[in-house]
A = this chain, B = another copy of it.
Amino acid sequence: MSKRVGIREVAAAAGVSVTTVSHSLSGGGQISDATRERVRSVAEGLNYAPNRLASGLRSKRSQIIGFVSDEISTTPYAGNVLLGAQEAAAANDQVLMVVNSNRNSRIEDRGIDALLQHSVDGIIYARMYHQAVKLPAALSGVPTVLLDASSDRTDLSSVVPDEEGAALTAMEHLLAAGHRRIGYLGNIDEIPATRGRLAGYRAALAAHGIPFDESLVTVGESMTAPGRDAASRVLALADRPTALFCFNDRMAMGAYQAAHLAGLEIPRDLSIVSIDNFEVLADALLPGLTSIALPHYEMGRWAIERLAAELAGEADSAPQQIQMPCPLVLRQSVGPPPR
């Protein structure tokens, strides 16, 4: 690293004052185009790079965004959220400072403290699956955007997936393939996705005049083994469904296994659609699993852009709470119902 060149070396080399250099490089002030250009090329030639600690200290803008997550390690798609945020931040000349809490609020508070000590300009408060949150007290007064999380506060921007819309999309796909007897493999956690996806399931049935049949709904924890058990139960029904809409890909994998055990072939005897588009599973299953993608990357981008707009005090900087659409990703797990 050696001794980095500072604004004063540039000033000396360009034969101007440090003020002029500062203005030239940051686009501010009233500097003639000629001077500005000259200073810029001198700076570039000298390989000048600003010291963000110093500029942050003076200007109260660190260009650092804090990213607070709850369980970055256990959620395979956490990387996409982070990536979306990171790329959007880079485009704004910002950088991400990441802190993970492991769902421990003491650790979370410590992490937030650390971020504030480093003078982050704002914070993305991210959950790794859609949930309702109460914002930590330490965050009051700090510009914050909620990611994959919602709260009852209307003064905060937030972005979550459109759970009900995702379920509708999944169901419409099955209905369009001709299915009328569609089971729902649901989960049991008390999270918004639980409510939203079930609501979408029912709404889709209603929209097509199909009566809701309680016996076609089985639930379990949202993992493979419970999914397998729950699926086995519906598939054992005398009048079993011809298609299954699954809460997520892990449960869908369980449904595949249950189908195998029951001697059913997918999609000939049973069609399956789920939510997550978790590629390691969806692509690997045989046949490929048709699934609704959750917009992880996009939520990451949106959160940063929203935060940037609010920090800039832009005209449209009123907080927004949005639900993002979730696209269908076609693979091979859906076919017409067996006759």
Contacts and interface: CB of A to CB of B under 8 A. Distances in A.
A257 B158 CA distance: 42
A141 B116 CA distance: 29
A257 B113 CA distance: 49
Interface stretch (A200-208, A280-288, A314-322): A280-288
Q: How many copies does the complex hold?
A: 2
Contact of A79 (B64, B73, B253, B278): B73
B90 A83 contact: no
For the side of the interface on A, what is the size category?
35 or more
B1 A253 contact: no
A95 B100 CA distance: 11
Counting chain B CB atoms within 10 Å of each CB, the highest count among A64, A99, A286 belongs to A286
Given A96-B98, A117-B51, A225 B90 contact: no
Contacts of A96: 97-99
A151 interface: no
A283 B224 contact: yes
20 contacts: A1-B116, A1-B141, A2-B141, A49-B117, A51-B57, A51-B117, A53-B56, A53-B118, A64-B118, A73-B82, A73-B83, A78-B78, A90-B99, A90-B114, A95-B115, A95-B118, A97-B98, A223-B284, A224-B283, A225-B283
B117 A50 contact: yes
Interface string A92-110: 0101111110100001001
A211 interface: no
B116 A250 contact: no
A86 interface: yes
A142 interface: yes
A15 interface: no
A86 B57 contact: no
A212 interface: no
A119 interface: yes
Nearest to A95: B114
The 9 closest A-B pairs by CB, nearest first: A224-B284, A76-B76, A73-B79, A73-B83, A1-B141, A53-B57, A72-B79, A73-B80, A52-B118
A52 B57 CA distance: 9
Nearest to A54: B57
Contacts of A260: 260
A90 B111 contact: yes
Contacts of A116: 1, 49
A117 to B, nearest CB: 5
B52 A117 contact: yes
Contacts of A49: 113, 116-117
A32 interface: no
